[in-house]
Structure 1
């Protein structure tokens, strides 16, 4: 790496390092063999459980061991435990995976085990508080996932898990609060595709339920995405969201307006591939949806011109652009 001084090791140091690495490998293989042998023997003991902990701390992608660990809990530990003890055990596992995620934030099997833990939290602790343990654990998950997204706002595993937690919380979080959260993440980084995607899910739900004024909020979204387009016209996630907002292009007025805005941006950024692609996409939409109200010959020629410019700008996708031109 640049700027990092290379340390020259002596032959003795290299030999010692090799011995140490070989010892670690031998230790790992022995542990793996022991865990798998206990699994094959249907060993549901606490000793086996603790071995899985050691194994997963070394290799959290060993999904077979995660499955074995859950079977130990279900078949060996839970049957002999009270609800409070089960809750404590699952809380320990959630804490263990929180520590693991700090080192391995994109390992699917860790996130998957957290889901399993949440789904197995017992009701309690008293008849007057039937969701006490469950609510506490699920509420804590929102805190954990917030922290994970603070560390990496584009971690799609964390965003997927966030949607899972929101859907499963015993006391629902208002969708408008989540909408505000995605806006904060987007304004912090317009390239956050996962936040844009989360926003599509929320808006679709809010519009379908009538909880959000469709016309006004959609105009607000156009303003938000327009700011993003002008900030970074080469960001794919912004253009994908813009197309989602446009939908099927049934509103001729909005379609014409957005084409004009994209054209203005292209005039400022003449080498913007996404501006060109979007203009072709929306002009073709005009030809399909509003042919009687537009100059079809002019639009077709404009699309051809843009596609030929795209071939020069983006030769790797030449065949795609030429195929679109044939369809005009």
Structure 2
């Protein structure tokens, strides 16, 4: 950042700064630093005259260093870059440095998307995103941006195997499970019945390794729904877990879903075992959600009354 205030910089003598106008009686005025107020006064001035120049880019860099979440500043940077026909690969290098310190800053991720879209080249994006997710495997902005990149540049082919590696390292990575679902059902080539069965087998294996992981259970249920088969179709897997003496609230929850769906399909009362499981979850296995399971039990009892 410049060590000299813009008001003292000879290169900016031709610009009349525009102070911030908070009105005559601001309720809670923000105590900006002297450097930030000075830079913003000149930013308002150059935007009012629509100046697009290298010195404006430098001014914007100073402001971003002080406030990297300033959306308007990022937006005007794009306008200036495109007007000057700037080297956008160099801009990506600049963004690399910013994201290294601001990995959860939405504005810088959006700026990168705009620049890459303008370049019409995503060659460096997957390695870049991989590096970010290695630092924080659950970075929401990184995953969201990855979805855009893969769709924008048709980079679907290796994405399932990428999530394989992440889940083998950490089966509880809910972001990887969510992204795996996105890849499977948003790719231009929809999954075959064979691939869906492979996914079911893969997920069941992960559940066996970590039966108390909610993400893999949710993924398994979603897969079965996508196959248009009744939930009862994965009851044999549940029985293998019971035989292995697995205790998991998600195991009982899956059984409750099966019993509820069966009752609706057959227009018959819900199996009493489902009501008992609700009590088991409310009083023991998932007591933190006691109110939910009591509500679920009441809902099933109400369903019984309507099925009679």
Which category of TM-score, normalised to the shorter sequence, fits these structures?
Answer: 0.7 to 0.9
RMSD of aligned C-alpha atoms? 2.7
Quote the residue 2:76 is aligned against: 68
Instruction: Using structure 2 for the length normalisation, give the TM-score.
Output: 0.76
Counterpart of 1:147 (choices 108, 126, 131) is 131
Whether the aligned pair in 1 keeps the contact of 2:200 and 2:220 (CA below 8 Å) is yes
Deviation at 1:67, TM superposition (A): 1.2
**What is the CA deviation profile of residues 47-102 of structure 1, one whole-angstrom value per residue up to 9, with x for unaligned ones?**
12211111112321111111121222244x23xxxxxxx3x2x1122111111111
Unmatched runs of 5 consecutive residues or more in structure 1: 1-22, 79-85, 122-133
Quote the residue 1:165 is aligned against: 149
Instruction: Using structure 1 for the length normalisation, give the TM-score.
Output: 0.72
**Residues 323 and 45 of structure 1: CA distance in aligned 2, closer, same or farther (over 3 Å):** farther
Quote the residue 2:106 is aligned against: 108
1:284 maps to 2:260: yes
Quote the residue 1:95 is aligned against: 93
1:273 maps to 2:254: no
Deviation at 1:246, TM superposition (A): 1.0
Counterpart of 1:54 (choices 40, 62, 85) is 62
Quote the residue 2:6 is aligned against: none
Query: When you count helix as a share of all residues, which structure comes out higher?
Result: 1
**Residues 263 and 320 of structure 1: CA distance in aligned 2, closer, same or farther (over 3 Å):** farther
Whether the aligned pair in 1 keeps the contact of 2:196 and 2:227 (CA below 8 Å) is no
**Residues 320 and 139 of structure 1: CA distance in aligned 2, closer, same or farther (over 3 Å):** farther
The alignment covers a number of residue pairs equal to: 268
**What is the CA deviation profile of residues 11-60 of structure 1, one whole-angstrom value per residue up to 9, with x for unaligned ones?**
xxxxxxxxxxxx99332333233323332343322212211111112321
CA distance in 2, matches of 1:72, 1:202: 35
1:308 maps to 2:279: yes
**Residues 300 and 249 of structure 1: CA distance in aligned 2, closer, same or farther (over 3 Å):** farther
**Residues 318 and 219 of structure 1: CA distance in aligned 2, closer, same or farther (over 3 Å):** closer
Unmatched runs of 5 consecutive residues or more in structure 2: 1-30
**What is the CA deviation profile of residues 134-190 of structure 1, one whole-angstrom value per residue up to 9, with x for unaligned ones?**
44xx10112211211222222221122112112222xx43x3422211211222211
Counterpart of 1:321 (choices 292, 296, 304) is 296
**Residues 266 and 106 of structure 1: CA distance in aligned 2, closer, same or farther (over 3 Å):** farther
**Residues 33 and 317 of structure 1: CA distance in aligned 2, closer, same or farther (over 3 Å):** farther
CA distance in 2, matches of 1:209, 1:44: 44
Matched ranges for 1:81-230 at <5 A: 86=86, 88=87, 90-121=88-119, 134-135=120-121, 138-169=122-153, 172-173=154-155, 175-205=156-186, 209=189, 214-230=192-208
Quote the residue 2:26 is aligned against: none
CA distance in 2, matches of 1:221, 1:36: 54
